[in-house]
């Protein structure tokens, strides 16, 4: 028994490496965007279309990953997705035609999407093996990997290292992390029989809806929070990003402590409290133009949103209405769809009722979390 526990502990470390590698790899792309725009000599509109290729590749790969994982398990897909990210990352720094960069972004996004679904499935398997909540901590490490990746690439570029050489080093880091994780990844998850595709139904539809809302809110805050603060005259333009920065820090802190909270209070209470905390944050943000109160709102939204997605993914992996890989693929795909369309939806609503009104709409959507918290409990 001790050796089994030790092996599962190694699997936990391997899962952590995968989440860090995924966050690190995707974050390395963000500092490269201005270089890509300059290299191709394109405008903002064309750049926006190219940037959609990354998300499109991810969303397209997720259902396929769910189907494959029902047969071969999560480990082969983690390896393919992780090494795929390392392989395609350098191409993002050298492609000098729109079509070639778009293709590279599609393949990079597909690798990320495959890795995302597979590593979350593996996280559920490790949680089950160790009989303790771990998902929030895994997702926190994705965020930490993102901080590290963007910081690393910014440091490389600031040190006058070329984008290509910088991403080569980053790709080696990603590949090394996946390679170190490989021997300790669980082999469970494949099934010889059973359906390859099942339409999401019942609890999985609810999970997918809430994942869509959670990611939509996160994407909207990323793209619109600075403008809200600036247009409300709460902060000068140069400090507009402080709201999202506080949101990100609070979310990471919430996820680092989330597993302990789930172990003590259970999923249902943590999920309910998370939703209520996020709604409180929106209330603080929108009730007044008093800057400290608004910034406290961002902190509350981050703390509240922190453990919503980890709880949803854990529930998707533990429900029995459809195969876990397909359920996780549906939840992840819905989440990414929310992340992609969220900023555009906020812009559309803001055109009619103003940005303040659009954020009220986000708060109303977040009310679905506490409203449906009993439905999510499938234990």
* Residue 133 Rama label (left phi>0; alpha psi -120 to 50; beta): beta
Q: 251 and 360: one domain?
A: yes
Classify residue 189: in a domain, yes or no: no
- Amino acid 2: pLDDT: 45
Q: 222 and 291: one domain?
A: yes
Confidence of residue 307 (pLDDT cuts 50, 70, 90): very high
Q: 19 and 137: one domain?
A: yes
Whole-Å CA distances, 231 to 237, 241, 282: 9, 13, 17
| DSSP string for residues in 69-118 | HHHH-SHHHHHHHHHHHHHHTGGGGT--SHHHHHHHHHHHHHHHHHHHHH
Classify residue 42: in a domain, yes or no: yes
Confidence of residue 72 (pLDDT cuts 50, 70, 90): confident
Contact call for residues 4 and 125 (beta carbons, < 8 A): no
Residue 96 burial (10 A CB sphere; 0-12, 13-18, 19+)? exposed
Tally of structural domains, the chain:
2
Report, as an integer, the average pLDDT of 327-336: 87
- Amino acid 173: pLDDT: 96
Whole-Å CA distances, 58 to 52, 278, 352, 376: 10, 27, 31, 25
As a whole number of angstroms, the distance between CA 211 and CA 338 comes to: 8
What H or E segment, with its residue span, contains residue 271?
helix 267-287
Classify residue 193: in a domain, yes or no: no
Report, as an integer, the average pLDDT of 299-306: 94
**Cut 0.75: pTM above it:** yes
Classify residue 195: in a domain, yes or no: no
The closest of 374, 372, 217 to 304, measured between CA atoms, is: 217
Q: 178 and 67: one domain?
A: yes
- Domain containing 40 — which CATH number? 1.20.1250.20
Report, as an integer, the average pLDDT of 107-123: 93
Gap between the terminal Cα atoms of the chain: 26
Q: 319 and 349: one domain?
A: yes
Q: Token digits for 354?
A: 């103003």
pLDDT at 188 over 80: no
Classify residue 190: in a domain, yes or no: no
Of 151, 184, 217, the position where a domain reaches its end is 184
- Amino acid 4: pLDDT: 46
Read off the pLDDT of residues 3-57 as tens digits, 9 standing for 90 and up.
445 467 899 999 999 999 999 998 888 888 888 888 999 887 788 788 888 888 9
Q: 37 and 151: one domain?
A: yes
Contact call for residues 190 and 73 (beta carbons, < 8 A): yes
Percent of the chain exceeding pLDDT 90 equals 47
As a whole number of angstroms, the distance between CA 64 and CA 80 comes to: 13
As a whole number of angstroms, the distance between CA 362 and CA 161 comes to: 41
Classify residue 7: in a domain, yes or no: yes
Q: 17 and 148: one domain?
A: yes
As a whole number of angstroms, the distance between CA 62 and CA 333 comes to: 6
- Amino acid 279: pLDDT: 96
Q: 150 and 257: one domain?
A: no
Q: 158 and 289: one domain?
A: no
pLDDT at 1 over 50: no
Classify residue 194: in a domain, yes or no: no
Q: 250 and 348: one domain?
A: yes
Classify residue 198: in a domain, yes or no: no
Owning domain of residue 93: 2-184
- The set of residues, in sequence order, having a beta carbon less than 8 Å from that of 204 and lying 6+ positions away, is 316, 319, 321, 322, 327, 330, 331
Of 149, 184, 219, the position where a domain reaches its end is 184
Read off the pLDDT of residues 229-285 as tens digits, 9 standing for 90 and up.
888 888 887 777 788 888 989 999 999 999 999 999 988 899 999 999 999 999 999
As a whole number of angstroms, the distance between CA 378 and CA 202 comes to: 11
Quickly tell me which residue has 């406290």 as its tokens: 296
> What are the phi and psi torsion angles at 307 (to 5°)?
-105, 10
Q: 147 and 224: one domain?
A: no
Q: 176 and 213: one domain?
A: no
- Amino acid 3: pLDDT: 45
């Amino acid at each position: 028994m001790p050796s089994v526990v030790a092996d599962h502990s190694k699997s936990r470390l391997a899962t952590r490496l995968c989440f860090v590698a995924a966050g690190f790899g995707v974050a390395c792309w963000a500092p490269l965007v201005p270089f890509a725009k300059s290299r191709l000599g394109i405008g903002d509109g064309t750049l926006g279309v190219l940037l959609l290729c990354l998300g499109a590749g991810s969303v397209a790969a997720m259902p396929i990953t769910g189907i494959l994982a029902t047969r071969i398990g999560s480990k082969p897909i983690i390896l393919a997705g992780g090494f795929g990210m390392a392989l395609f990352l350098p191409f993002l720094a050298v492609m000098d035609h729109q079509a070639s960069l778009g293709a590279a972004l599609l393949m990079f996004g597909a690798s990320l999407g495959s890795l995302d679904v597979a590593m979350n499935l593996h996280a559920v398997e490790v949680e089950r093996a160790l009989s303790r909540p771990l998902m929030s901590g895994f997702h926190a490490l994705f965020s930490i990997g993102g901080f590290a990746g963007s910081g690393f690439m910014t440091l490389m570029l600031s040190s006058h290292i070329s984008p290509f050489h910088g991403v080569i080093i980053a790709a080696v880091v990603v590949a090394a992390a996946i390679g170190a994780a490989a021997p300790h990844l669980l082999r469970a998850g494949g099934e010889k029989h059973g359906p390859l595709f099942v339409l999401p139904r019942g609890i999985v539809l609810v999970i997918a809806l809430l994942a869509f809302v959670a990611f939509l809110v996160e994407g909207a805050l990323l793209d619109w929070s600075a403008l809200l603060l600036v247009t409300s005259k709460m902060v000068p333009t140069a400090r507009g990003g402080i709201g999202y920065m506080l949101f990100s820090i609070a979310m990471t802190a919430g996820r680092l402590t989330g597993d302990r909270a789930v172990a003590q209070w259970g999923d249902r209470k943590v999920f309910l409290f998370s939703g209520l905390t996020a709604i409180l944050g929106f209330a603080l943000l929108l009730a007044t133009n008093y800057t400290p109160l608004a910034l406290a709102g961002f902190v509350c939204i981050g703390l509240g949103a922190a453990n919503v997605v980890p709880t949803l993914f854990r529930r998707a992996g533990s429900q029995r209405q459809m195969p876990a890989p397909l359920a996780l693929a549906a939840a992840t795909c819905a989440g990414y769809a929310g992340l992609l369309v969220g900023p555009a939806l906020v812009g559309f609503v803001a055109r009619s009722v103003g940005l303040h009104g659009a954020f009220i709409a986000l708060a109303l959507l977040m009310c679905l979390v506490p409203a449906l918290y009993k439905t999510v409990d499938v234990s």
